[in-house]
Structure 1
Amino acid sequence: MSHVNLNRIISIMTCEFKILESKNIHLVVPLVEKLNDYKVSAEVLESRFIEMTKQNYECAVICDNNKIIGVSGLWYCTRHYSGKSVEPDHVYIDESYRGKGIGKAFFNWIYSYVKDKGCETIELNTYVSNPSSHKFYYNEGFRILGFHFLKNV
């Protein structure tokens, strides 16, 4: 008989996955600040998020009793090599909620949501300094195709 962790099941059941209304985008800034290795101020982050909501972007969140405990941006485009695609971006789950299957459940929700929107593929970037995310994405069936480069202009 397998052992079922009841706390894990309850934690996932109390969480809600949804698209955040653009007018509430400022609510994700505190979570994204924790992910933010390059230390952009909260004011700049909020300004950028407001601008992002005017582009091909949606923000998916995880809520536990109306408290946002996780976030993933969703960027949409069509690529010549992969068709209609979505890029999860700035994925972050509050540390106290990790290891409970919520990330896997969130990504399953994202897969279903973007497939219903006609997406054929999902691509993403993750920081080199975040090996736990690498393991998660490998386990989700992602494979590395290249390197992400950045240059300030």
Structure 2
Amino acid sequence: MKDHELSAVECVIPATLQDVPLPDVSRVMQYLRPQFSVDELSSAIVRQWQSGYRLAVAYCDGLVVGVAGFVLGEKLAWGKHMYIDDLVVDESMRSKGIGDALLQCCQTHAESHGCVSLHLDSGTQRTRAHGFYFAHGMPISSFHFNKSIG
């Protein structure tokens, strides 16, 4: 998609898994999750869909150019919320408003489902992404700790 003229970006949240263009979504998701093949990502999306994982898909001229994977939930600390697990734009299409459109699509969807907040984690090495989130009014509000088990 190099040297692609950007036309209007359309963001869609597919209602069913059958409406998700899995190979195209997985190809874009690979920019964020390069340790997985397209087939592995597609299989993971299918499995996670059963637990409430959903997608916002950004299209430009009919091509998938960005994707955000999220879940809606409720926690004592956050109330009803949207947690964005994955937000990525095709590398050749970055800095063209696609991430803005995806984040706005997610926020609109969250609001329409009664959510009071939007959350995500971003790897400490992703400083460019951090600037994007800061610019969208998302300050760092906590540290995320994890431990591998098993």
Fold-level similarity (TM above 0.5): yes
Aligned twin of 1:131: 127
Residues of 2 paired with 1:25 and 1:100: CA distance?
22
Match of 2:63 among 67, 75, 93: 67
Aligned-pair distance for 1:72? 0.2
CA contact (8 A) 1:25 1:49 kept: no
Aligned-pair distance for 1:106? 2.3
Residues of 2 paired with 1:41 and 1:93: CA distance?
17
Match of 2:148 among 130, 141, 151: 151
Over the aligned positions, Cα root-mean-square deviation in angstroms equals 1.8
Aligned-pair distance for 1:148? 3.9
2:17 aligned with 1:22, yes or no? yes
Over alpha carbons, which structure has the higher Rg? 1
Residues of 1 paired with 2:85 and 2:74: CA distance?
16
What amino acid sits opposite 2:26 in the alignment? V
Which string of whole-angstrom CA distances, capped at 9 and with x for unpartnered residues, describes residues 85-135 of structure 1? 111122111122211222223212221121011111111011222111111
Aligned-pair distance for 1:35? 1.1
Specify every segment of 5 or more residues in structure 1 that has no aligned partner in the other structure, as ranges.
1-9
2:66 aligned with 1:77, yes or no? no
Note closer, same or farther for the CA distance 1:61–1:150 as it changes in structure 2 (3 Å cut).
farther
Count of residues in Structure 1 that have an aligned counterpart in Structure 2: 142
Query: Is 99-108 or 46-55 further displaced after alignment?
Result: 99-108
TM-score, normalised on structure 1?
Answer: 0.83
Aligned twin of 1:112: 108
TM-score, normalised on structure 2?
Answer: 0.85
- % identical aligned pairs: 23
Structure number with higher helix proportion: 1
What amino acid sits opposite 2:90 in the alignment? D
Question: Residue 56 of structure 2 aligns to a residue in which SS?
Answer: strand
